[in-house]
């Protein structure tokens, strides 16, 4: 278990002072931090087809980048390269534990856990990100420089590397195991490994309003709600046919607005959108589908665990109507089990004790059986 140690600062004080506002180094944010995964295991994961990974190195002063899967790392030598793996939480239960320390932020804001392994001198170069990130230093040391927000010129140092022009540092520190660097979006930064090192970044992404609007339009088209024509049955004769009247403009705008104002439809879209996995899930399908009676028995002796990377949310005001969202789909359930479903959405691991109110409930067992059979939850030893 990783426990975030903010020293004299409360989590709310951290949010008020730093979140989305300014970067900060939290020394020993994780006390006695031990890498949740070994470097060679990480290198092995990046050899697998479905993993999103990237190698960055410098050759003759030129930045180079390539995407996995990788067959070997031998040609890279012992310095100046780094390997980055996205969505490690989908593949390593141990590494996913790091995310649990950041549950004071809502899960819908979470993007993924990224791991970075670097040889001495290794770096992905100076760049900016459009997400909030907590870079948790694992083994080894890394020298981090972070610049202030501002007008920074970005350029392609390589076709797969968007870098930023040199910047003055407002943070210039060496991180050691257990130290955490929080960086909000838009602050240029660069980390250079001083020895062989690992870091684990918990990223929180905010979608741009435009990307949400574009996804909403796709959703309306896919669900055949997008075919309604702009209407004008009460049309009056015009004398200036080149003019778009104020009334017509207001009517176009309000017909568009009504799509957003339809809360039922927009909420369904938002729930589906926020729970859609960005990275492939490593679904654990059971060998044989579970039967209801079997699940009812197992819930008394086993914990159930949510698949790494799976997103499951509910809205504050519709959970009691029996609606939640799991992995891109809206799910309806009997409203009597709303509090049980909240547990599923709020906690990655649920022990038999925590489910004692629900493990006799037929509707809850039916839902859990479905989720186990979809490979979205799995049985885990109750510790
Ligand atoms: C890295 O750890 O190599 C890069 C992380 C980042 O800058 O976001
Ligand atoms: Co970055």
Kindly report, residue by residue over 333-368, the tens digit of the pLDDT.
Answer: 999 999 999 999 999 999 999 999 999 999 999 999
Q: Are residues 173 and 217 in the same domain?
A: no
pLDDT of amino acid 381: 84
Dihedral, 197, 33, 13, 126 alpha carbons, nearest 10 = 0
Confidence of residue 224 (pLDDT cuts 50, 70, 90): confident
214 and 363 belong to one structural domain: no
Q: Residue 134's pLDDT is what?
A: 98
Residue 6 forms part of a structural domain? no
Query: Residue 39 above 80 pLDDT?
Result: yes
29 and 75: one domain?
Answer: yes
Cα 132 from Cα 114, distance rounded (Å): 13
Which band of pLDDT confidence, cut at 50, 70 and 90, is reported for residue 201? very high
Is 199 near ligand 1, meaning CB less than 6 Å away?
yes
Distance CA 329, CA 315 (A): 14
User: Are 377 and 305 in contact, with CB atoms under 8 Å apart?
Assistant: yes
Q: What is the mean pLDDT of residues 175-188?
A: 98
Here the tokens at position 65 are: 């980048």
Distance of alpha carbon 285 from alpha carbon 31, whole angstroms: 36
The reply to whether 170 and 45 lie within a common domain is yes
pLDDT at 183: 98
Please check the confidence at residue 119 and state whether its pLDDT lies above 80.
Answer: yes
Q: What is the mean pLDDT of residues 31-60?
A: 95
Q: Which residue has the higher pLDDT, 112 or 255?
A: 112
pLDDT for residue 228 is more than 80: no
Residue at 213 is within a domain = yes
DSSP secondary structure string, 345-369?
HH-SEE-GGGGTTTTT-HHHHHHHH
Residues 331 and 324 sit within 8 Å (Cβ to Cβ): yes
Residue 224 lies in domain: 209-230+247-261
Q: Are 35 and 182 part of one and the same domain? A: yes
Residue 383 above 70 pLDDT? Answer: no
Task: Using alpha carbons, list the distances in angstroms from residue 171 to 21, 121, 187.
Answer: 14, 19, 11
**pLDDT tens for each residue of 127-142:** 999 999 999 999 999 9
Q: Are residues 65 and 143 in the same domain?
A: yes
Instruction: Give distance in angstroms: CA of 349 to centre of ligand 2.
Output: 30
The whole-number average pLDDT for the span 4-24 is 97
Together in a domain, 254 and 325: no
CA 241 – CA 120 distance, rounded (Å) = 70
Q: What is the CATH number of the domain that holds 133?
A: 2.60.120.650
For residue 241, being part of any structural domain is answered with no
Q: Which ligand is nearest to the CA of 137?
A: 1
Same domain, 220 and 186: no
Site to probe by mutation for ligand 1, drawn from 113, 185, 201, 202 as the one with most ligand atoms within 8 Å of Cβ, is 201
Q: In this structure, what CATH number is given to the domain that contains residue 360?
A: 3.40.366.30
Residues 165 and 217 both lie in one domain: no
Q: Pull the structure tokens for residue 383.
A: 């510790």
Looking at residue 99, what is its pLDDT? 98
% of the chain exceeding 70 in pLDDT: 99
Judge if 116 and 195 occupy the same domain: yes
The rounded distance, in Å, linking the Cα atoms of 154 and 165 is 6
| 79 lies in some domain | yes
Domains in the chain, number: 3
C-alpha 189 – ligand 1 centre gap (Å): 8
356 close to 382: Cβ distance less than 8 angstroms: no
Q: What pLDDT score does 295 carry?
A: 96
Residue nearest to atom 1 of ligand 1 (CA): 116
Distance in Å, CA 201 to ligand 2 centroid: 9
Residue 232: predicted pLDDT: 87
Asked if 214 and 197 sit in the same domain, the reply is no
Grade residue 60 by pLDDT with cuts at 50, 70 and 90. Answer: confident
Mean pLDDT, rounded, of the chain: 95
Place 82 in a pLDDT band, splitting at 50, 70 and 90. Answer: very high
Residue 278 lies in a domain: no
Q: Rounded to whole angstroms, how far apart are CA atoms 368 and 334? A: 13
Question: CA of 334: how far to CAs of 150, 317, 322, 330, 366, in Å?
Answer: 51, 15, 6, 14, 10
Q: How far is the CA of 127 from the centre of ligand 2 (A)?
A: 6
Kindly state if the Cβ of 189 falls inside 6 Å of ligand 1: yes
- Cα–Cα distance, 212 to 226 (Å, whole number): 16
> What per-residue confidence (pLDDT) applies to 123?
97
Rounded distance between C-alpha atoms, residue 172 and residue 25, angstroms: 10
pTM across the whole model: 0.94
Answer whether residue 382 shows pLDDT above 80: no
Residue owning the nearest CA to atom 2 of ligand 1: 116
Domain shared by 71 and 89, yes or no? yes
């Amino acid at each position: 278990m990783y426990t975030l140690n903010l020293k004299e600062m409360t989590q709310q004080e951290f949010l008020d002072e730093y979140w989305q506002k300014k970067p900060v180094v939290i020394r020993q944010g994780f006390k006695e931090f031990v890498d949740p995964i070994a470097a060679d295991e990480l290198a092995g994961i990046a050899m697998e087809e479905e993993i999103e990974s990237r190698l960055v190195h410098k050759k003759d002063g030129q930045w180079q980048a390539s995407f996995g899967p990788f067959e070997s790392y031998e040609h890279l030598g012992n310095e100046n390269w780094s390997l980055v793996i996205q969505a490690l939480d989908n593949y390593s239960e141990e590494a996913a534990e790091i995310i649990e320390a950041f549950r004071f932020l809502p899960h819908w804001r979470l993007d993924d856990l990224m791991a970075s392994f670097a040889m001495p001198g290794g770096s992905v170069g100076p760049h900016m990100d459009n997400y909030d990130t907590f870079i948790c230093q694992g083994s080894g040391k890394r020298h981090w420089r972070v610049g202030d927000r501002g007008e920074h010129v970005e350029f392609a140092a390589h076709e797969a590397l968007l870098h930023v022009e040199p910047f003055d540092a407002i943070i210039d520190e060496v991180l050691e195991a257990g130290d955490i660097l929080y960086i909000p979006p838009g602050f240029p930064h660069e980390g250079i490994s001083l020895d062989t090192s690992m870091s684990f970044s918990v990223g929180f992404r905010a979608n741009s309003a435009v990307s949400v609007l574009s996804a909403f339009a796709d959703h309306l088209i896919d669900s055949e709600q997008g075919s309604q024509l702009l209407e004008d049955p009460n049309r009056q004769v015009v004398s200036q046919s080149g003019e778009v009247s104020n009334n017509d403009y207001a009517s176009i705008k309000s017909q568009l607005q009504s799509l957003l104002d339809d809360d039922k439809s927009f909420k369904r879209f938002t729930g589906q959108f926020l729970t859609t996995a960005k990275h492939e899930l490593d679904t654990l399908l059971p060998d044989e589908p579970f039967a209801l009676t079997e699940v009812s028995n197992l819930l008394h002796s086993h914990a159930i665990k949510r698949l790494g990377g799976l997103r499951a949310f509910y809205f504050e005001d519709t959970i009691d109507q029996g609606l939640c969202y799991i992995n891109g789909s809206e799910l309806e359930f009997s409203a009597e089990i709303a509090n049980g479903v909240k547990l599923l959405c709020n906690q990655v691991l649920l022990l038999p004790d925590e489910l004692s109110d629900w493990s006799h409930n037929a509707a809850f067992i039916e839902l859990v059986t479905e989720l186990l059979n979809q490979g979205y939850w799995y049985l885990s030893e109750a510790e």
